[in-house]
Amino acid sequence: MCALNCEAKPWVDHFGLKKQCDKPFWRYSKEGADIEIVVSGIGSLAMATAVGWAGAFFERPRVWLNLGIAGHADMMIGKICRVHSVINANDLRKHYPPLTAKWPGDSSAIATVNAPTNSYPQGAMIDMESHAFFQAASTFSPAELVQSIKVISDNQEQSFEHLNAAKITALMTPHVAIVNEFMQTLIGLLPQREIEHSWANLLTARCTHSQRQQLNALLKKASVLDLQNEVGALGLKPSTPINVLLERLQGMLAKSAPRIDRGNV
């Protein structure tokens, strides 16, 4: 998630992403790629709305990364920093993103403000979207997978007025590799996928939604315990009455002691 197209451009180019739409937000992706980039526009409301819009495309948790520029009183322009805490300057609410994914560079606090300013807080970066980004994205994914990386664009020596799109892109471009590496680390933290089993045909049995969930849960357990033969021996069919299906599976699972020497973890 970026506020500006010029912040996103180095990654759009690097991954060869194509613009999929420009309303309500610019969205870049390409077929077969795991990554997509959404450009929200400036400010908290725009960022929260864009995250909500982008989040609706996927059911499963995924990594959310906010990339953008930030100001800081005395950090060198071009320096890259991970956000380790964020404060909303309006209501002083704080958020601490869990720092589970390793990041090789520096980290800093950030304050999110409503409008561009040359008044820099001591010991923290300053931007206009981070707090909203964390709040919104954490509703879609575990907080450990929601992170923000900022590149210093202005400081007390050189205010934000000197910035333009080309300069911003130039500030972001040197950091493509380190950010991509961080993204891979975050992707490596994604929770494991659901257990699958090979008895999907039994789920077509005539039953209520709740019974189907129970049946699916029992079949997953049978799969985890490697009970293919035992389930087969029960002779279950989709036409078997659901209460019989459930009872037989429960009975079988209740008696099936796991074998711990077969490397099934």
Contacting positions for another protein (CB under 8 A):
84-85, 94, 96, 98-102, 107, 109, 138-139, 142-146, 189, 191-192, 194-195, 220-222, 224-225, 253-261, 264-265
Smallest Cα–Cα separation from 241: which of 198, 207, 197?
Answer: 207
Query: Among residues 23 and 193, whose Cβ is nearest to another protein?
Result: 193
Nearest distance in Å: CB 154, another protein: 24
**SS3 state at 45:** helix
Nearest distance in Å: CB 188, another protein: 8
β partners of residue 69: 151
Work out whether strand 94-95 and strand 124-127 pair parallel, antiparallel, or are unpaired: unpaired
Instruction: Give the list of residues 6+ apart from residue 238 with CB closer than 8 angstroms, or none.
Output: 201, 202, 204, 205
Nearest distance in Å: CB 105, another protein: 11
Query: Among residues 136 and 236, whose Cβ is nearest to another protein?
Result: 136
Query: Among residues 174 and 191, whose Cβ is nearest to another protein?
Result: 191
Cα–Cα separations (whole angstroms), residue 56 to 48, 141, 207, 209? 13, 12, 30, 24
Q: Which two tokens stand for residue 103?
A: 């990041």
Query: Among residues 99 and 178, whose Cβ is nearest to another protein?
Result: 99
Cα–Cα separations (whole angstroms), residue 248 to 18, 97, 217? 52, 46, 14
Examine residue 24 and say whether the peptide bond preceding it is cis (omega within 30 degrees of 0).
yes
Nearest distance in Å: CB 223, another protein: 9
Q: Which two tokens stand for residue 169?
A: 């892109």
Nearest distance in Å: CB 124, another protein: 12
Query: Among residues 203 and 225, whose Cβ is nearest to another protein?
Result: 225
Nearest distance in Å: CB 42, another protein: 25
Query: Among residues 85 and 180, whose Cβ is nearest to another protein?
Result: 85
Query: Among residues 20 and 264, whose Cβ is nearest to another protein?
Result: 264
Smallest Cα–Cα separation from 111: which of 97, 122, 99?
Answer: 122
Nearest distance in Å: CB 250, another protein: 9
Smallest Cα–Cα separation from 26: which of 53, 64, 62?
Answer: 53
Residue with tokens 């390793």: 102
- Angle of helix 165-172 relative to helix 5-15, nearest 10 degrees, comes to 50
